Structure 1
Amino acid sequence: MKEVIDFLNSNSMGSLATVENGKPRVRPWGFMLEQGGKLWFCTANTKNVFQQLQMNPAVEFTSSSQAYVTVRVSGEVKFSKDLEMKKRIIENSPMVKGIYKTPENPIFEIFCLEHGKAIVSDFSGQPPKTFEF
């Protein structure tokens, strides 16, 4: 899994897919950080994506490098109110800090993938690598 985490730390911007009314919805998204084997992300509870995740917590996040290596992680999100983790995310991302300002912001929500699957693939002809977490 270290390979996946290192990749996501270097290629944190990607796309997040959710489901809305039985149809896929994909949007640009950022990976925030890993802690204790959990992959952390954030959003605002005022966004449609927040409601989508509440109704169906199954997601997939994908990111690619300039060398055409791709990582896909999938699983079910778990929301958290952990202020220390919110603080870490804000400290880790100037963009998030610019949007939400403080961990106590009432619209700032964090969520993680605690268990799931990660796939690393490229165009080398080698089979993809699969990791369970």
Structure 2
Amino acid sequence: MKEAIEFLNAHKTGCFATVENGKPRVRPWAFMLEDGGKFWFCTANNKDVYRQLKENPHMEFTSWEVFTIFRISGEVKFSQDIEMKKKILEENPGLKSLYGANDPVFEIFYLEHGNISFAGKTYEF
């Protein structure tokens, strides 16, 4: 699994899929960080993706380089952990121009009960 996480940290941008009205919705996205076995992402609570995840908490994110594909899917759990919000903002400076840790619109979430597919292997978490 270490190799998969290293790949993800080096290839943080990709495609993020949710479900809306039983149909897939895919958009460009960025992975934030892995911490303690949790895979963290963020959004704003005024976006469609936030509403979609509240209605159906299952998602998938994929990133790639040539023929190497990383895919992670699982169930989203939202968090109000202010220290994790600060950590995400520190490790992703571009977000600081959009949000602050106490911004009521800024939402963070992690994946729980999911799996990773990478280099022909599958890992459960």
- What is the TM-score of this pair, normalised by structure 1? 0.91
Cα distance in 2 for partners of 1:82, 1:63 equals: 26
Task: Summarize deviations over 1:2-32 as a string: whole Å, max 9, x none.
Answer: 1121111000000110000000000001000
Cα distance in 2 for partners of 1:95, 1:23 equals: 31
- The 5 A counterparts of 1:89-104 are 89-100=88-99, 102-104=100-102
Counterpart pick for 2:105 among 104, 107, 111: 107
Cα distance in 1 for partners of 2:19, 2:54 equals: 11
Larger-Rg structure:
1
Q: Indicate whether 1:129 and 2:104 are aligned.
A: no
Provide the aligned length of Structure 1 versus Structure 2: 125
Aligned match of 2:52? 52
Cα distance in 1 for partners of 2:90, 2:97 equals: 10
Q: Which runs of 5+ in 2 are unaligned?
A: none
Larger CA deviation: 74-83 vs 90-99: 90-99
- The 5 A counterparts of 1:1-133 are 1-65=1-65, 67-100=66-99, 102-121=100-119, 128-133=120-125
Aligned match of 1:124? none
Deviation at 1:107, TM superposition (A): 0.3
Cα distance in 1 for partners of 2:6, 2:60 equals: 18
Deviation at 1:97, TM superposition (A): 1.2
Q: Which runs of 4+ in 1 moved over 4 A?
A: none
Structure 2 counterpart of 1:99, which letter?
A: L
Aligned match of 1:125? none
Deviation at 1:99, TM superposition (A): 1.1
Deviation at 1:115, TM superposition (A): 2.5
Q: RMSD of the alignment, in Å?
A: 0.8
Cα distance in 1 for partners of 2:123, 2:96 equals: 31
Q: Which runs of 5+ in 1 are unaligned?
A: 122-127
Structure 2 counterpart of 1:6, which letter?
A: E
Deviation at 1:105, TM superposition (A): 0.5
Cα distance in 2 for partners of 1:10, 1:98 equals: 22
The 8 Å contact of residues 38 and 115 in structure 1, kept in 2 or not, is answered as no
